[in-house]
């Protein structure tokens, strides 16, 4: 006896939607990997809020709904990492605009002015794990957390503070808000953004060593903090937002599944393997939604098809906006 449609929909969204949005249970740490500074995802795993197939399937629905309504995209970027104390001092002067803008540290203290920034540099150099004046190691990481223009900059700042407190509680960090109105740079960005510089060596001696999966987790964490502030935000990658194919829904009904059929029309140009896999994942997810017992799922499938059909026309515009925000 075949499983009910609802169960099949959940299973498909869990399997293929989780692949699409990189959802999965955290792997057990390898032997000797205690010093990576990496944290398990707060979303996945048996004890996490995405610990069941139903929860993961619902998360996939949420991500797809954010896509079709074109929720503002979060940008979390790792900028050039400062090396040695000389590089860190230059970085702190840069993000504070030579002391003109307020720095907020991990304790919530405010640092402003050239002398105060120099004192902060000395504190980083001599506190905890010492930092040599010159080094070939990445002694700090510089993150940029950005949102589109017209986003409330104070909400962005509060979300960045919440994200940093949750993610880097055992590290020293310096955080500065840049806005079009307050940034003394001659050509300030219109996109409110926060510069977040984190000392690589934690207060517990564990070095921060982010991987690609960590960057995606940071994006998710910042987006969640923004939503806590009432700001609509999502974290789909450019690969997930880009299509080299066109999608249509036929009005015909399959005699077996009695679900709307979703067809793909491949472009004449070759599609890279990774992008082809992404589109195959979309296809499986949309077919599952189109064959669901629930009208909201079937409507989401139709909305997603229309959304993906128009993505090719805006991909270059999105790329340009991302570059401007950097």
Answer yes or no: do 266 and 290 share one domain: yes
Last residue of a domain, one of 212, 228, 244: 228
Tokens of 192: 């409110």
* Predicted pLDDT at 310: 67
* Predicted pLDDT at 270: 56
Answer yes or no: do 178 and 91 share one domain: yes
Asked whether residue 128 is domain-assigned, the answer is yes
Q: Helix H segments across the chain? A: 5-12, 18-20, 53-68, 84-95, 114-126, 153-167, 212-228, 238-241, 273-290, 295-325
CATH of the domain at 224: 3.30.930.30
* Predicted pLDDT at 70: 77
Answer yes or no: do 177 and 269 share one domain: no
Asked whether residue 182 is domain-assigned, the answer is yes
Asked whether residue 38 is domain-assigned, the answer is no
Answer yes or no: do 110 and 4 share one domain: no
Tokens of 47: 């004890």
Element (H, E) at 176: strand 173-178
Asked whether residue 244 is domain-assigned, the answer is yes
Answer yes or no: do 60 and 143 share one domain: no
Answer yes or no: do 82 and 67 share one domain: no
pTM tops 0.85, yes or no: no
* Predicted pLDDT at 118: 96
Last residue of a domain, one of 199, 228, 257: 228
* Predicted pLDDT at 65: 84
Answer yes or no: do 61 and 112 share one domain: no
Answer yes or no: do 150 and 279 share one domain: no
Q: How far apart are CA 94 and CA 108, in angstroms?
A: 20
Asked whether residue 149 is domain-assigned, the answer is yes
How many domains does one find in the chain?
A: 2
CB 144 within 8 A of CB 195: yes
CB 244 within 8 A of CB 267: yes
* Predicted pLDDT at 103: 98
Answer yes or no: do 123 and 102 share one domain: yes
Asked whether residue 33 is domain-assigned, the answer is no
- Number of Cα atoms under 13 Å in the Cβ half of residue 210: 25
Range of the domain at 105: 75-228
258-290 burial code (b ≥16 CB/10 A, e <16):
ebbebebeeeeeeeeeeeeebbebbbbbbbbbb
Answer yes or no: do 7 and 66 share one domain: yes
The answer to whether the Cα torsion of 46, 52, 56, 61 is positive or negative is: negative
* Predicted pLDDT at 251: 46
Q: What torsion do the CA atoms of 178, 179, 181, 184 make, to the nearest 10 degrees?
A: 30
157: closest CA among 149, 147, 167, 166? 147
Q: pLDDT tens string for the chain (326 positions)?
A: 444 566 889 998 988 888 877 776 444 444 334 444 544 444 544 345 778 889 999 988 988 888 887 788 889 999 988 999 999 999 999 999 999 999 999 999 999 999 999 999 999 998 888 899 998 889 999 999 999 999 999 999 999 999 999 999 999 999 999 999 999 999 999 999 999 999 999 988 899 999 888 998 899 899 999 999 999 888 776 555 555 444 555 544 454 444 455 555 544 455 577 777 878 888 888 889 998 989 999 999 888 887 777 664 444 455 555 555 55
Last residue of a domain, one of 173, 199, 228: 228
* Predicted pLDDT at 39: 47
* Predicted pLDDT at 24: 60
* Predicted pLDDT at 234: 81
Angle at 158 between CA 200 and CA 172, to 5 degrees: 20
Answer yes or no: do 195 and 127 share one domain: yes
Answer yes or no: do 66 and 93 share one domain: no
Tokens of 295: 């009208």
162: closest CA among 181, 145, 141, 183? 145
């Amino acid at each position: 006896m075949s499983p009910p449609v609802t169960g099949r929909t959940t299973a498909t969204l869990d399997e293929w939607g989780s692949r699409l949005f990189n959802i999965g249970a955290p792997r057990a740490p390898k032997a000797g990997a205690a010093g990576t500074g990496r944290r398990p995802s707060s979303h996945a795993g048996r004890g996490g809020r995405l610990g069941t197939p139903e929860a993961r399937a619902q998360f996939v629905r949420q991500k797809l709904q954010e896509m079709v309504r074109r929720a503002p995209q979060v940008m979390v970027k790792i900028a050039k990492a400062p090396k040695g104390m000389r590089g860190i001092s230059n970085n702190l002067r840069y993000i504070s605009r030579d002391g003109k803008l307020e720095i907020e540290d991990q304790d919530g203290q405010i640092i402003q002015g050239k002398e105060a920034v120099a004192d902060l540099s000395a504190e980083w150099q001599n506190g905890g794990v010492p930092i040599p004046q010159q080094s070939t190691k990445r002694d700090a990481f510089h993150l940029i957390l950005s949102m589109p223009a017209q986003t409330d900059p104070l909400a962005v700042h509060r979300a960045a503070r919440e994200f940093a407190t949750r993610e880097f509680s055992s590290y020293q960090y310096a955080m500065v808000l840049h806005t079009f109105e307050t940034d003394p740079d001659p050509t300030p960005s219109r996109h409110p953004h926060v510069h977040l510089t984190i000392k690589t060596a934690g207060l517990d001696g564990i070095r921060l060593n982010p991987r690609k999966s960590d960057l995606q987790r940071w994006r998710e964490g910042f987006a969640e903090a923004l939503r806590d502030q009432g700001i609509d935000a999502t974290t789909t990658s450019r690969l997930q937002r880009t299509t080299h194919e066109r999608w249509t829904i036929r009005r015909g009904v399959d005699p077996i599944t009695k679900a709307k059929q979703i067809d793909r029309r491949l472009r004449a140009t070759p599609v890279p393997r990774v992008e082809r896999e992404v589109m195959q994942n979309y296809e499986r997810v949309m077919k599952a939604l189109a064959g669901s017992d629930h009208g909201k799922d079937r409507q989401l499938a139709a909305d997603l098809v229309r959304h993906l059909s128009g993505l090719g026309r805006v991909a270059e515009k999105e790329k340009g906006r991302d570059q401007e925000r950097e």
